[in-house]
Chain A
Amino acid sequence: MSEIAKPVPAVTPQMVPFFDAARQGELKVQRCTECGALRFPAREICAECLSRQHAWVRVSGRGEVLSFNIMHQAYHPAFAAEVPYAVVVVKLEEGPAIVSNLVGVKPDLIRCGMPVEVVFEKVNDQISLPKFRPRAAG
């Protein structure tokens, strides 16, 4: 097999609920059960109130592009055929910001503030990656 695989996220014990949900087509983030603050990626301790207690909660999957870049260098050989490609930071309606890619839009048409919604891309039987596509505002 000559094709070089893209890095696959490690399914750490902390992130199991996230990947379980992603396989079902649901986007989940951690919610502090003490103060209610949402966070992503997984952390053991709430940065707001320092509570150790949390639950995973489903979020809408809607948000907007907080920012983005367009990667012109192939830092990893698996991405060499894709440059230039965009990486985005999506600010979810519920608050957390999440790094991802957009699907269905060319990099030069991406704008800060663009409304987006989550879609899932299956990597293997264990992992589906949340990505985002443009949606109508509102």
Chain B
Amino acid sequence: MSLRAKCAIAGLGATRMGRNFDHSNAIGFAIEAVELALADAGLKRSELDGLLVNPGVTWMTNPMASFDLQQAMGLRDLSLTATMNLGGATAGAMVMHAAQAIDAGMANMVACVFADAPLKPPRPESAKKGAGSAAAYGFARGLEGAYGLFGVSAQYAFVARRYMHKFGATNDHLGAIAVAERQWANLNPAAQFHDQPLTLADYHNSRWIAEPFHLLDCCLVSNGGLCVIVTSAERARGLRKPPVHILGMGQGHTGGDPIETLASGAPIAKRVAFKMAGVELSDIDLAEIYDCYTFTVMVTLEDYGFCNKGEGGPFVADGRIAPGGSLPVNTGGGQLSSFYMWGMTPVCEAVIQVRGEGGERQVKKHDVALVSGNGGILSTHSTLVLGADA
């Protein structure tokens, strides 16, 4: 049986985002996010019986992060838990896992959580001595480090460069995505770049990180936590907020070398999710597209079929995805301009928009939202189709 609209997102919790030190570690942000989601839904902590956790970079090596969070916030007698990691595709995958378990009668009320705290408060000068010792660079090993290849941006840059070579996309196209998302962020009080406008010239003037990526092609770094609570659609209707129905869900993971495929797993995930939801691309009112880099948005829009392969550059160049454009994309500012909570950033904004809680940035037609998650370097992909009506 199809899972279409069997389940819904009933609660959303978002902490303060960005350079804040409200908690000393990720678990603190996770706890606050769950508390906020419970309050949003009008639920008590004891009503949770499922807890799925996607730990961010500061606790991703913890193999039992979800148990640690359970203990840290005194949750008892859960019937479902897991620590999950498909990178940026995890948020969608957590919602899928929750919905499947609820439909199977194995859980009733599942919190899906992401949190991270990579930013540290400024320290007195005296405490900085000794930082940057040789030991800190032990992370670099193997042949890649010998050639000076470090970090995800450098790896992603290979894919972007090849794409630009093959299809003729330019930094103007990438910049158009950065500018569009910033325009959305300027309408979102929760966005880290809410108060800072951005022009295409500013984009070009931002320093290079790993060409072809400027600083403003890259996502933010954020402290914070996000939680959504998934339950049955029936149960959700009795709660405080209008249900955001989960109409379709899918995953797609192509494998292979992204420098050669130049593609995400979106076509596979879309096929599954759109079939379940019974929707076509023309039914999508807004798209929350995973944006670790500007480039990722370009490729993902193509792979969902909003334009032909290779035409993503011209597609975004004319303000189409900006406020007032025909396809609202990353309406909160995305991870480039609002906050970097991996796949929970697009999930969070979709819930806000479908509910109609977007304030100044609320899009007029918000019946059906597309949410994409992307992990690694176009390595993993998840799709959610969310809707106001069942």
- Which B residues lie within 8 Å of A9 (CB)? 141-143, 145-146
Residue B74 at the chain A interface, CB threshold 8 Å: no
Could you jot down 27 A-B contacts, CB within 8 Å? A6-B148, A7-B145, A9-B141, A41-B142, A69-B157, A70-B211, A72-B210, A75-B140, A76-B145, A77-B137, A84-B208, A84-B211, A85-B148, A87-B149, A87-B154, A89-B259, A97-B257, A97-B260, A99-B147, A99-B149, A101-B147, A101-B148, A111-B165, A112-B161, A112-B165, A112-B166, A129-B147
Evaluate contact between B162 and A69: CB separation under 8 angstroms: no
Cross-chain contact A76 with B142 (CB below 8 angstroms): no
CB within 8 Å for A76 and B140 given contacts A66-B162, A82-B148: yes
**Residues in B lying within 8 Å of A, measured CB to CB:** 132, 134, 137, 140-151, 154, 157-159, 161-162, 165-166, 207-213, 257, 259-260
- Tell whether A109 is near chain B: CB-to-CB under 8 Å: no
In chain A, what residue has the closest Cβ to B207? A72
Residue among A6, A9, A41, A99 with the highest chain B CB neighbour number at 10 A = A99
Given A9-B146, A101-B147: A77 and B132 interface contact (C-beta under 8 Å): yes
What residues of chain A lie closer than 8 Å to B165, measured between beta carbons? 67, 111-113
Q: Is the CB of B158 within 8 A of A7?
A: no
Q: Decide if A97 touches B146 in the complex (CB within 8 Å).
A: no
* A113 / chain B contacts, CB cutoff of 8 Å: 165
How many pairs of residues, A versus B, come closer than 8 Å at their CB atoms?
A: 100
| 5 further interface pairs, Cβ-Cβ under 8 Å (given A41-B142, A99-B147) | A41-B143, A66-B259, A69-B211, A76-B140, A87-B148
Q: Is the interface of B mostly helix, strand, loop or mixed?
A: helix
Residue A8 is within 8 A (CB to CB) of chain B in the complex: yes
Q: Which residues of A contact B142 (CB under 8 A)?
A: 7, 9-10, 41
Given A69-B157, A71-B154, A113-B165, also A79-B211 (CB < 8 A)? no
B211: which of A10, A66, A72, A123 is its contact (CB, 8 Å)?
A: A72
| A residues 31-82 touching B (CB-CB < 8 Å) | 41, 66-73, 75-77, 79, 82
Top 3 A-B residue pairs of the complex, sorted by shortest distance between their CB atoms:
A75-B150, A7-B145, A69-B157
Q: Which of B144, B146, B157, B162 has the most chain A CB atoms closer than 10 A to its own CB?
A: B146
A45 to B211, CA, bound (A): 34
Chain A residues with CB under 8 Å of B213's CB are 69
Minimum distance in angstroms from B105 CB to a CB of chain A: 38
**What chain A residues lie within 8 Å of B145 (beta carbons)?**
6-7, 9, 76
Name the residue in B144, B151, B211 with the highest tally of chain A Cβ atoms < 10 Å from its Cβ.
Answer: B211
CA distance A79 to B141 in the complex (A): 14
Shortest distance from the beta carbon of B295 to any chain A beta carbon, whole Å: 12
A131 to chain B, nearest CB (A): 8
